[in-house]
Amino acid sequence: MWRFIKRLFLILILANILFVVLGIFFNPPITLTQLGGLIKYGKLQRDYISYDDMGSNIKKAVIASEDQTFFNHNGFDYKAIEKAIKKNDKKGKVVRGGSTISQQTAKNIFLWQGRSWFRKGLEVVYTFIIEKVWGKDIILERYLNSIEMGQGVFGIEAASQYYFGKSAKDLTKSQAAWIAAVLPNPKKYDPKKPSAYLNKKHNWIMRQMNNIVLK
C-alpha cells in the first residue's frame, strides 16, 4: 500500500511538471472551470489566439481592471492582499479579493474554483512556479485565453466575438473596457445590458488604461 502511494505521488509530481512545461508552448486543452461551464450552460465558446493577435486594448483593459502592478510584482501583490484582508474583516465577509493575474492564471489553468485553504495553498505554489518558468507574456496569454468571460464563454477572443462580433485585436478602447468590466463576475454582469455599477466601472477602466504600459 505504501509503495502504491509513493508511486502515485511520484506520478502526480511528474504529471504536474509535464503540464507546466507544456504550458510554455500550448494553451490547456480544457480546464476544470471550462468543463464546469460546459456542463452548466451546455456550451464551450472558446477560441485560443496568440499573444500578438490579442491587440493592445484588451490587454490594457484587463490589466487596468484586475492587476495594475502585473509587470512589476513576483506573482503576489502584498499591498492588494493587505487591503483585501482589511476590507473583508470590516465587512465580515469576502467582498474583495487580492489575487493577481498570475494567481488567477494558476487557479484557472491548474486548479478549480473555490475558497478552501487547501486550494489557496496550491495556488500559491503554482503561481510561484509559473512566474519562474513561464514569464509575464505567457502568463498573460494563458490568462486571457482561458478566463471566463460570460456564461459558457471563455477567453477574450470568444468574448469579443460574442459581445461585439469582432476579433480581440480590433476592439476599440471602449469595447475592451466593457469586456474587462465584467470581471471578476462574468456570470452576473453583461456589457449588452450594463447596470449603473457596470457603467461606472467601465468609465473607471477607461481612465486607468491610460496608465498601463505594456512590456
* Three-state DSSP state, 176: helix
Please tell me the distance from the alpha carbon of residue 96 to that of residue 76, in angstroms, as a whole number: 15
Work out the number of other CB atoms within 10 angstroms of the CB of residue 189. Answer: 18
Work out the number of other CB atoms within 10 angstroms of the CB of residue 29. Answer: 7
pTM attached to this predicted model: 0.88
Cis status of the peptide bond prior to 191, with omega within 30 of 0 = no
154 pLDDT above the threshold of 60: yes
Give me the chain's average pLDDT, please: 88
> pLDDT digits over 161-199, tens only?
999 999 999 999 999 999 999 988 888 888 888 899 999
Q: Which listed CATH number (1.10.10.10, 1.20.190.20, 3.30.420.10, 1.10.3810.10) goes with 37-209?
A: 1.10.3810.10
Q: What is the pLDDT of residue 86?
A: 66
Q: What is the pLDDT of residue 91?
A: 54
Residue ranges of domains in the chain: 37-209
